[in-house]
Structure 1
Amino acid sequence: MKRFQNILFVSHGLENEAECLKEALALACNKQANFKVLIAHPGLPHGFDKYQGTYEKALLDNTKLCLKTAAEAMPEDIRPDPEKIPVEIEGGDMQAVRIIRRAIADDCDLLIKPAENREGNRGYEALDMELLRKSPVPVWLARETGGKTGAFHIAVAVDPLSDEKAGRDLGLELLDLAAALNSEIGNRLSIVSCWDYPLEDSLRNNVFVRVPEEEIKKTLEAEKAAHLDTLHGLIAESGIGEAGDIHHLHGKPQNVIPKFVDENGVDLLVMGTVARTGIPGFVMGNTAENILQKVSSSLLAMKPPGFVSPVKV
């Protein structure tokens, strides 16, 4: 996999981001990728201009200390020299737009950012959601694992029934990406796909027509089998072989995807954020927003081929 050769790590410069930086640096070193840090801050209020230099120096010093800590925690054979990692700083309003413009201008192919702190460590704040909606570059929103040891569990959500070629192509890309990441930084891969028969509740609870339960079950089994068969076809087409375990889930995506993440200790969820890429009807609308606001893991989100960002350089 040749993607991810030019990685941009976005920091606010205020927190201890050494753990997230360590994961990002490990990925960059494994792929021998270019790696740059951008400190993006909202700027100081009007009238505080005289403190700008001191404030930005403090952000730079903290970030460089985090880089040093992260590098020292890495195996010696892949440990980078933190002094040689470019660190830039940019302040002002419209932070998401500024970040996306920098990623586009620098021809980055991956944007990594620690997820904004949120009560309950679930869902994403406004800045992160704007990046997910508008960035043409894949966005990795990283959450700290709290010193977790053992298997790094990657899950990828795909929809084999996408009606559009772009959606199917993205599904193939997601499978390829997740399998490649699992071989580089993970050691457990789950392939997740949801199936749901929209008329199931209506058939069971229709007061005008009584459909025998046996007939309903037969219909559901046929729907499930057809969906699973198509999923196997998508996986075969992707060429990843038996790289991951298949989890064929019955239910609404906004319920079953976050539940799967929680119950199976998923560290990184790989999915699409535009078009039908993991779940029926999966666009950046109600379904996607509901899923993302319930997810507790880190997230790597991709756009389908041909996506045009509203942000221009």
Structure 2
Amino acid sequence: MAADSYKHILVVTDGLRTSDGVHETALNLAREHGATVTLASSVQEPGVISKLLSPNSKGVFEMVIADKQQRLDTCARQFAAAGIEAKSRVLIGKSSAAIVKEAVESEADLVIRYRKGTMSKSSGSFGSTAKSLMRYCPVPVLFVGDQPVNNPKVLACVDVQHGENENSSILQNAAALGREAERLEAMYCWEFYHADMIEKQMEAKAFRDIVDLSRTVHEKEFQRFKGSHDLSGFAKLRIEEGAVEVVIPKVCESDKIDVVVMCSATLNHPLKRYFGSTIESVVERIPCSLLVVKPAGFVSPLVKPVSTTTAE
């Protein structure tokens, strides 16, 4: 996605939240980008057992839909009062799949959501739906933290081991959020893996030499990366050594970062992994909002491919 600006934003809400920053963030970004907004909430149909045990399950289901739609309509009127074109709809189905389907079919270029539902049983600060969206949503998803996002200071976490698509998506979306250069940073973090174990197996000088060599290689790769991307809009470019789950939260605190941008899938990995170990180790420790992106060409397994077969 060449995210110079966001044109259509999908705001996922349960209609109960008025102070968690999601609505205010959506208002801020919609105003700034001149975007239209769809407010959505999902509800899952009752299963076979529920229908058998509760003859009135259909009636209850319809009541839930009506209640959600009423709440969404109220939210949409608030956006309209602010001069933003907004519509609302209740999504039917499992939350993550329904959100991904709506994001793709409505051609949204940004999804905004809270980290964890009020009824979530998941441990940690992200619920199961949030983690599923990190893995499978092809559209960038902004998980709003404790504070609404407004003129944010943004940290783009690139990886020189990624392909061009992954890093381009990170940088483009970071620039779309932090539209002023002085509020944009890009960082590459590397770690000498298993250093503690390897150090015990080597002489001190030999170990220092191999770490120095590794540092030189990473610094050269970062220089190559800077030369192959337009980073003129970023006020600060940095390379940091250490575990990402330690370094990224530390930089967020020291530089007062409002949004971290990371990529949760890579196309050049032999298994085309989703929600890689790097982002998994970091997300629970990030003290601010998180924007998770995918590389161009990412195809979600939750989206059914369009059949090209023609009838004979």
Quick one: distance in 1 between partners of 2:182 and 2:277? 33
Gaps of 5+ in 1: 73-78
Quick one: distance in 2 between partners of 1:68 and 1:24? 14
Quick one: distance in 2 between partners of 1:122 and 1:240? 34
Residues 1:304 and 2:300 aligned together = no
Residues 1:60 and 2:55 aligned together = no
Quick one: distance in 2 between partners of 1:48 and 1:270? 42
Residues 1:205 and 2:200 aligned together = yes
Equivalence for 1:144: 146
- Please list the CA deviations of residues 139-161 of structure 1 after superposition, one character each: whole Å capped at 9, or x if unmatched: 1111231x799x72211111113
Partner of 2:40, secondary structure, is: strand
**Following TM superposition, by how much is the alpha carbon of 1:25 offset from its aligned partner in structure 2, in angstroms?**
2.6
- Please list the CA deviations of residues 129-185 of structure 1 after superposition, one character each: whole Å capped at 9, or x if unmatched: 01111111121111231x799x722111111133xxxx233213312321332116x
What is the percentage of aligned positions where both structures have the same residue? 21
**Following TM superposition, by how much is the alpha carbon of 1:43 offset from its aligned partner in structure 2, in angstroms?**
5.5
- Please list the CA deviations of residues 280-304 of structure 1 after superposition, one character each: whole Å capped at 9, or x if unmatched: x985244432222333321111112
CA RMSD of aligned residues (A): 3.3
Partner of 1:38, secondary structure, is: strand
Cα pair 1:19 1:144 within 8 Å, conserved: yes
Quick one: distance in 1 between partners of 2:273 and 2:155? 17
Equivalence for 2:266: 275
Aligned residues: 290
Structure 1 residues 180 and 237: alpha-carbon distance in aligned structure 2, compared to 1, 3 A threshold: farther
Quick one: distance in 1 between partners of 2:24 and 2:239? 33
- Please list the CA deviations of residues 65-87 of structure 1 after superposition, one character each: whole Å capped at 9, or x if unmatched: 44555677xxxxxx425xx5111
Residues 1:182 and 2:178 aligned together = yes
Residue identity matched to 1:211? A
Partner of 1:131, secondary structure, is: helix
Quick one: distance in 2 between partners of 1:173 and 1:148? 20
Cα pair 1:22 1:70 within 8 Å, conserved: no
Residue identity matched to 1:105? E
Partner of 1:86, secondary structure, is: strand
**Following TM superposition, by how much is the alpha carbon of 1:2 offset from its aligned partner in structure 2, in angstroms?**
4.1
Cα pair 2:191 2:241 within 8 Å, conserved: yes
Equivalence for 1:104: 104
TM-score of the aligned structures, taking structure 2 as reference length: 0.78
Equivalence for 2:24: 22
Partner of 2:178, secondary structure, is: helix
Equivalence for 2:224: 233
